[in-house]
Protein backbone atom coordinates (compact mmCIF):
# COMPACT_ATOMS: atom_id res chain seq x y z
CA UNK A 1 0.00 0.00 0.00
CA UNK A 2 2.86 2.36 0.74
CA UNK A 3 4.20 1.97 -2.78
CA UNK A 4 0.80 2.88 -4.28
CA UNK A 5 0.58 5.92 -2.02
CA UNK A 6 4.08 7.06 -2.98
CA UNK A 7 3.28 6.69 -6.69
CA UNK A 8 0.03 8.62 -6.28
CA UNK A 9 1.86 11.35 -4.36
CA UNK A 10 4.47 11.78 -7.07
CA UNK A 11 1.82 11.63 -9.80
CA UNK A 12 -0.01 14.51 -8.09
CA UNK A 13 3.28 16.38 -7.70
CA UNK A 14 4.17 15.92 -11.40
CA UNK A 15 0.68 17.04 -12.48
CA UNK A 16 1.02 20.20 -10.40
CA UNK A 17 4.51 20.90 -11.75
CA UNK A 18 3.32 20.34 -15.31
CA UNK A 19 0.42 22.76 -14.84
CA UNK A 20 2.71 25.43 -13.37
CA UNK A 21 5.30 24.99 -16.13
CA UNK A 22 2.66 25.21 -18.87
CA UNK A 23 1.29 28.44 -17.38
CA UNK A 24 4.84 29.77 -17.00
CA UNK A 25 5.62 28.98 -20.66
CA UNK A 26 2.40 30.54 -21.96
CA UNK A 27 2.92 33.74 -19.98
CA UNK A 28 6.65 34.17 -20.58
CA UNK A 29 7.03 32.94 -24.15
CA UNK A 30 3.48 33.26 -25.46
CA UNK A 31 2.38 36.59 -24.03
CA UNK A 32 5.85 38.13 -23.94
CA UNK A 33 7.03 37.08 -27.42
CA UNK A 34 4.58 35.19 -29.66
CA UNK A 35 1.34 37.11 -29.12
CA UNK A 36 2.85 40.50 -28.33
CA UNK A 37 1.52 42.17 -31.49
CA UNK A 38 -2.05 41.03 -30.82
CA UNK A 39 -1.80 42.05 -27.18
CA UNK A 40 -0.36 45.47 -28.04
CA UNK A 41 -3.75 46.35 -29.55
CA UNK A 42 -5.03 46.57 -25.95
CA UNK A 43 -3.84 49.33 -23.64
CA UNK A 44 -3.90 49.36 -19.85
CA UNK A 45 -2.99 52.57 -18.05
CA UNK A 46 -1.53 54.03 -21.23
CA UNK A 47 0.81 51.08 -21.82
CA UNK A 48 0.42 48.41 -24.46
CA UNK A 49 -0.60 45.10 -22.92
CA UNK A 50 2.18 43.14 -24.69
CA UNK A 51 4.83 45.48 -23.31
CA UNK A 52 3.25 45.37 -19.85
CA UNK A 53 3.22 41.55 -19.83
CA UNK A 54 6.82 41.36 -20.98
CA UNK A 55 7.96 43.80 -18.28
CA UNK A 56 5.67 43.38 -15.26
CA UNK A 57 2.79 41.04 -15.92
CA UNK A 58 4.98 38.00 -16.19
CA UNK A 59 6.63 38.79 -12.85
CA UNK A 60 3.24 39.08 -11.14
CA UNK A 61 2.20 35.80 -12.74
CA UNK A 62 5.37 34.07 -11.56
CA UNK A 63 4.81 35.28 -7.99
CA UNK A 64 1.25 34.01 -8.22
CA UNK A 65 2.51 30.65 -9.50
CA UNK A 66 4.96 30.34 -6.60
CA UNK A 67 2.19 31.13 -4.12
CA UNK A 68 -0.22 28.70 -5.81
CA UNK A 69 2.43 25.95 -5.91
CA UNK A 70 3.28 26.32 -2.22
CA UNK A 71 -0.40 26.32 -1.22
CA UNK A 72 -1.31 23.36 -3.43
CA UNK A 73 1.78 21.35 -2.42
CA UNK A 74 0.82 21.88 1.22
CA UNK A 75 -2.60 20.44 0.46
CA UNK A 76 -1.11 17.48 -1.41
CA UNK A 77 1.35 16.84 1.43
CA UNK A 78 -1.48 16.79 3.99
CA UNK A 79 -3.61 14.60 1.73
CA UNK A 80 -0.87 11.96 1.50
CA UNK A 81 0.23 12.46 5.12
CA UNK A 82 3.78 13.52 4.29
CA UNK A 83 3.55 17.02 5.78
CA UNK A 84 5.96 18.26 8.40
Per-residue pLDDT tens digits for 2-61: 788 889 999 999 999 999 999 999 998 888 888 888 989 998 888 888 888 888 888 999
Quick check: 71 pLDDT over 90?
Answer: yes
pLDDT confidence of residue 4: 85
Phi/psi class of residue 11: alpha, beta or left (left: φ > 0; alpha: ψ in -120 to 50)?
A: alpha
pLDDT confidence of residue 76: 95
- Find out whether 73 and 67 touch, Cβ atoms under 8 Å: no
pLDDT band at 69 (very low <50, low <70, confident <90, very high): very high
pLDDT confidence of residue 28: 87
Quick check: 83 pLDDT over 80?
Answer: no
Closest by CA position to 58, among listed 75, 45, 79, 39: 39
Quick check: 67 pLDDT over 80?
Answer: yes
Amino acid sequence: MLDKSAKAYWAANVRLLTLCLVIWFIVSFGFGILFVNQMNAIQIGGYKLGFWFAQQGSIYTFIGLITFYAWRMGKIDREFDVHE
